[in-house]
A and B are shown apart, each in its own frame.
Chain A
Amino acid sequence: VVMTQTPVSLSVTPGQPASISCKSSQSLLYSVGKTALSWYLQRPGQSPQLLIYEVSNRFSGVPDRFSGSGSGTDFTLKISRVEPEDVGVYYCMQTVDLPRTFGQGTKVEIK
């Protein structure tokens, strides 16, 4: 399953919203109401961390300014008000099939 993220990079003013798109080459729906799409943030010099699972569920401790949406093959991660600590590379990942595959990443920078 090929995962395609856009844009490649994003420069955002603090307090402004940001949106990242992720498209998969096949449906990620694997059960009624279950879609195998998750989002990760890798801050500079750090390991990736889970933000969103099953399209729209925030992981423990993730601020509510992060939200996920979408279905089938089209997905979006939104940050309602970007803060300086949101800088890093964001990845979507599918686990509906093996091999597990990631998008190529979207680098978010602060203006």
Chain B
Amino acid sequence: EVQLVESGGGLVQPGGSLRLSCVASGFTFSSHWMSWVRQAPGKGLEWVANIKPDGSEKYFMDSVKGRLTISRDNAKNSVYLQINSLRVEDTAVYYCARDMGVFDIWGQGTMVTVSS
């Protein structure tokens, strides 16, 4: 079965850090770009970052540049999103998605709550 499963979300204080993980199965992970998309409570979808199949290129939404790191381990069929200096406005469900110029596979999402 083709699927993506995210984990690593939780409640974090402002200024803290989190590392989100997304494990892929059912397709050749190492051949595909991967993206992270987030959705604040009651809001729309917002693309955050993506990474090339070999990890050599990474792109970020302007407002998160410098605070986010995206990486992948093709041997583990996994993509990661490290979020540093967390802010209240980072509170959202974070989805990973296979990025083929369209997002044809989505995970179920992992909730990140930033609050004191």
Instruction: Spell out A's residues near B (CB within 8 Å).
Output: 36, 38, 40, 42, 47-50, 53-54, 59, 89, 91, 93, 95, 98-105
Contacts and interface: CB of A to CB of B under 8 A. Distances in A.
Contacts of A38: 102-103
B106 A48 contact: yes
Interface of B is mostly: strand
Contact of B102 (A42, A47, A50, A103): A50
Given A49-B106, A93-B45, 12 more contacts: A38-B103, A47-B106, A47-B108, A48-B95, A93-B102, A95-B101, A99-B59, A102-B44, A102-B45, A102-B46, A104-B44, A105-B45
Given A47-B109, A102-B45, A40 B59 contact: no
B103 A40 contact: yes
A105 B44 contact: yes
Interface size bucket, B side? 20 to 34
Most chain A CB within a 10 A radius of its CB, from B44, B46, B60: B44
A36 B109 CA distance: 24
B63 to A, nearest CB: 9
Interface in B82-112: 95, 101-104, 106-109
B59 A53 contact: no
A42 B96 CA distance: 15
B61 interface: yes
Contacts of B44: 89, 91, 102-105
Contacts of B21: none
Nearest to B107: A47
Given A99-B62, A100-B35, A36 B106 contact: no
Contacts of B103: 38, 40, 48, 50, 93
B27 interface: no
B61 A99 contact: yes
A100 B103 CA distance: 11
A91 B102 contact: no
